[in-house]
Amino acid sequence: MVSGKRRAKHPTDEEITKPITEKIRALIEPAPENAVGVKIDLPLLIDASKFLTSRSPWQEWATYSEMAIYIYELIRRTVSPPADGVGVASLDSSINAVVAKILAFPKTYTVAFELPAVVAPDLDSIQIAPNVTLVRAEAGKHFPDVLFNKQAAATLLGLAGIRPNPSVAEGKCYLLVATQGLGTTSASSSAIAAATSNVKQILHLCAVHGTGFSQTVVPDVPRQKVEVFAFEHSISPTPFHVDLSDEFQRLLCGVEISDFTAPVGLFGLGGQEVKTGGDALIAALAPYRALLDAADGNQDAQRLRAGLEWGFDAELSGDETQAFIQASIGIEAVLGEDDVEKGMTDKLADRCAYLLATSMQGRRELIASFKSLYKLRSQLVHGRHKRLQPPQRAALFQLRDILTKVLRTETSRFVN
């Protein structure tokens, strides 16, 4: 389930290094005497970002606005001037450090998603997918040391209304996702978006089958209640916060590990055993290992993962019209074809009917229902209806139900 593109050869010759060094130097204006910090020239920042994203490999991973955010955050974390301003030697070394990090691209990150409701005192780590691990925080393991022992400072800053740097408390559980690309505080930056997609796919796979992770959206969770942060794989990683939607944070607050009941003995004749914690999660995900471990090049796995992510979004969205369209895209992702052809609705209706119904009468009814739903989808997409009307809201639940059944059937068939 690794998301991300193949690492490109990094251009580090004079055609790239010299111009970008000059641009980084130009956009950092030394602070006045007795000031702590640097003033970044916005037009020059945009110019440097456009210079990079017009060239490979940066153009494959980021828009110029995302690159501008990355360079800005990188300078803020890298340039640490003395109290009497930025001296020439300090500025030179800082610029060289910034340029070196820019040229080492795409970046490799770990993105950590805190799961506050998961309590697993015996857990060390569970490999969920090749790039996704559930871990219990422990000093010296899984995280850079800089993330530990900052709880007191974080509490004081929080009371003062200041957002503290990311920190880790021993005993808390996190989903760690390894990813490549560009990582900033924005959830839309390529590395963060890829990691978030992985988490959505795993959580919705569990929801579809009613096993593994259970999920409840916790209402009224204050913003930044859940710790989500990332750190680059480097000698001295500097963790940074990731800003997720309030809805996603509320869902992460309610993620727990469900108990798993397993048969004991031959054909289950020995009764049943209830597994809890990490053992329950391992047993619950075992039937879906083939899908979780499938390489990115596996087209069937890609379709299912896309469908799972669209299904997750359709369930989480508070906008009923948007959720309806997301559910329809999820069905198309799993059962549709790459080439858009006339008669797509008929094909999707037939595929859903033969996949889900067990009788001719059931298939006829499902085909008629599906075509009615897709007529409504067409009206929404093409602007004839701006939003779902109250009498049409039942259509959303019906379409979500169809997508859930399609995903449950197809993910089971993939692993079998």
* pLDDT tens-digit readout, 104-113: 877 889 999 9
User: Could you tell me if residue 272 is inside a domain?
Assistant: no
33 pLDDT above the threshold of 50: no
Q: What is the mean pLDDT of residues 116-143?
A: 89
| Residue 84 belongs to domain spanning | 14-104
pLDDT score, position 218: 73
Of 40, 72, 104, which one is at a domain's C-terminal end? 104
pLDDT score, position 9: 47
> Are residue 199 and residue 158 in the same domain, yes or no?
yes
pTM: 0.81
User: Could you tell me if residue 305 is inside a domain?
Assistant: yes
Which of helix, strand or coil describes residue 275?
strand
> Are residue 207 and residue 120 in the same domain, yes or no?
yes
Cα–Cα distance, 329 to 323 (Å, whole number): 10
User: Could you tell me if residue 197 is inside a domain?
Assistant: yes
pLDDT score, position 14: 66
Of 51, 77, 104, which one is at a domain's C-terminal end? 104
Residue with the two structure tokens 């008629």? 368
Question: Pick from 63, 18, 68, 20: which is nearest to 41 by CA?
Answer: 68
User: Could you tell me if residue 3 is inside a domain?
Assistant: no
Strand partners, 230: 111, 240
150 pLDDT above the threshold of 90: no
> Are residue 117 and residue 45 in the same domain, yes or no?
no
> Are residue 382 and residue 251 in the same domain, yes or no?
no
239 pLDDT above the threshold of 90: no
pLDDT score, position 8: 44
Residue 358, classified by CB atoms within 10 Å of its CB into exposed (0-12), middle (13-18) or buried (19+), is: exposed
Identify whether the C-beta of residue 315 lies closer than 8 Å to the C-beta of residue 204.
yes
> Are residue 114 and residue 234 in the same domain, yes or no?
yes
Residue 133, classified by CB atoms within 10 Å of its CB into exposed (0-12), middle (13-18) or buried (19+), is: middle
Of 206, 228, 257, which one is at a domain's C-terminal end? 257
Instruction: Give the number of C-alpha atoms closer than 13 A to the C-alpha of residue 167, restricted to the C-beta side.
Output: 16
Q: DSSP string covering 128-197, please?
A: EETTEEEEE-BTTBSS-GGGSS-HHHHHHHHHTT-PPPP---TT-EEEEEEEEE---SBTTSHHHHHHHH
pLDDT score, position 382: 64
pLDDT tens-digit readout, 206-219: 999 999 999 887 77
User: Could you tell me if residue 5 is inside a domain?
Assistant: no
pLDDT score, position 195: 96
> Are residue 122 and residue 250 in the same domain, yes or no?
yes
> Are residue 123 and residue 239 in the same domain, yes or no?
yes
User: Could you tell me if residue 282 is inside a domain?
Assistant: no
> Are residue 235 and residue 321 in the same domain, yes or no?
no
> Are residue 34 and residue 172 in the same domain, yes or no?
no
> Are residue 93 and residue 125 in the same domain, yes or no?
no
Say what percent of the chain tops pLDDT 70: 81
pLDDT tens-digit readout, 312-350: 999 999 888 889 889 999 999 998 876 555 577 888 888
Strand partners, 214: 256
Q: DSSP string covering 189-234, please?
A: SHHHHHHHHHHHHHHHHHHHHT-SEE--PPTTPPTT-S-EEEEESS
Segment 354-361 long-range contacts (CB within 8 Å, at least 24 positions apart) = 355/406, 355/409, 355/410, 356/402, 356/405, 356/406, 356/409
How many domains does the structure of the chain reveal?
Answer: 3
> Are residue 78 and residue 160 in the same domain, yes or no?
no
User: Could you tell me if residue 304 is inside a domain?
Assistant: yes
User: Could you tell me if residue 264 is inside a domain?
Assistant: no
> Are residue 314 and residue 405 in the same domain, yes or no?
yes
pLDDT score, position 309: 97
